[in-house]
Amino acid sequence: MSDTIAASHENAIGCSQLGQLMGVSPFGSPLDLWEQYTGRQARPDIGGDLRVALGTPMESVLQPFVETRIGGKLRRDRKEYRHPTLPLVGHVDFRVSRSAAMVIDALSRSAQVRPVLDMKTSLGWGAKHRFGEDGTDAVDDSVLLQMHGYMMLTGAPMAIVAALVPGPEIKTYTILADSEMQHLIEESIDQFWWYVQQDLPPPPRSEADARRTYQTATAGRCIEADAEMHQALLDLASIKSHIREAEKKEQAIRDRLIPMLADYEQVTLDGKQLATFRNNKASERTAWQEVAREYAMYLDDEDAERIRKDHTIVTPGPRVLRLAKALEIIQ
């Protein structure tokens, strides 16, 4: 991310962050994003990331190949686009010729506004998991939202994603503007930014986020379960029962299997490895409490107590969900 783009994200949401804002990104939750915008968490520094450094040079190399694929010319953009009413900003890689073959094929006419095109060049995790069948709109939700963000900012009727995938080969995906999707994005940005301005965390969407938001329980506070919560508790009880039974079966198998392995390191069948039973790398642990006790022998009680207090940190115990006996289900 360039310094210019990073600076633009100080007071606005980048289109590439919409997936995280809306809770569909594998790279973080809305709470993570809120913590970044309220100064509670440092923004990720990807300036030294190789895939980012290769981005612009790779785009230039791929440009003629992508132009052949789409049947039209690309114009480098990289301008900063800002939404007129929302804190949304975007930096588009390329704009596509209005009469490119892929545009006419998708719209049945030339476009009145140049479509946008975004290149994905990392050949990493995203190339394997974010893209589906070539020539479709099968991109993951984060990429889909990013493209809709670009279309909202530019007024483009469609967006094209050109992805470099292992092979290597280029696959292209066409995303048409969808007013309902864009309305949902607008509502989500407006709501998220309210939380930023009010300095209130957004509602947690996962156990991890909930534990960060509500680290301690309020003594005596009780909630009456509604139908959804009641069913979730019943489902959890059922799953835990199945897990207990599965763990019993697993242990019975291990009790039968492990003695057979004795001190053998590998198990094979017809020359093919079935399993290994090796020692992990040895670990070393210092018994610091014992070290402290030995050093304390050379201190008087007052100094020893003072040092102990100076280096004692009290953290709340983790909240534990325990199901009532009435919910325990034996399957």
- Judge whether residue 22 has pLDDT over 90: yes
Cα 166 to chain centroid distance, Å, stands at 22
> End-to-end distance of the chain based on CA atoms, in angstroms?
53
Question: How many independent structural domains does the chain possess?
Answer: 2
- Evaluate whether residue 112 is within a structural domain: yes
136's CB contacts (< 8 A; 6+ apart) are 173, 174
Identify the pLDDT of residue 16: 93
Residues 236 and 101 in one domain: no
22's CB contacts (< 8 A; 6+ apart) are 30, 141, 145, 185, 188
Q: What is the mean pLDDT of residues 308-326?
A: 84
Residue 183: pLDDT band by 50, 70, 90 thresholds?
very high
- Evaluate whether residue 301 is within a structural domain: no
- Evaluate whether residue 35 is within a structural domain: yes
- Spatial distance between the Cα atoms of 141 and 315, rounded to a whole number of angstroms: 38
- Evaluate whether residue 104 is within a structural domain: yes
- Evaluate whether residue 309 is within a structural domain: no
Domain span at residue 244 reads 228-255+324-331
Residues 103 and 167 in one domain: yes
Q: What is the mean pLDDT of residues 159-180?
A: 92
Residues 95 and 237 in one domain: no
Q: Residue 245, SS3?
A: helix
pLDDT tens digit string along 79-106? 899 999 999 999 999 999 999 999 999 9
- Evaluate whether residue 281 is within a structural domain: no
Residues 94 and 175 in one domain: yes
Report the CATH number at residue 20: 3.90.320.10
Q: What is the mean pLDDT of residues 148-164?
A: 96
Q: What is the mean pLDDT of residues 170-194?
A: 96
In this structure, of 54-58, 95-99, 118-122, 184-188, the range with the lowest mean pLDDT score is 54-58
pLDDT tens digit string along 136-154? 999 999 999 999 999 999 9
- Spatial distance between the Cα atoms of 62 and 74, rounded to a whole number of angstroms: 11
Residues 133 and 60 in one domain: yes
**Burial of residue 226 (number of CB atoms within 10 Å: 0-12, 13-18, 19+):** exposed
Residue 316: pLDDT band by 50, 70, 90 thresholds?
confident
Residues 15 and 145 in one domain: yes
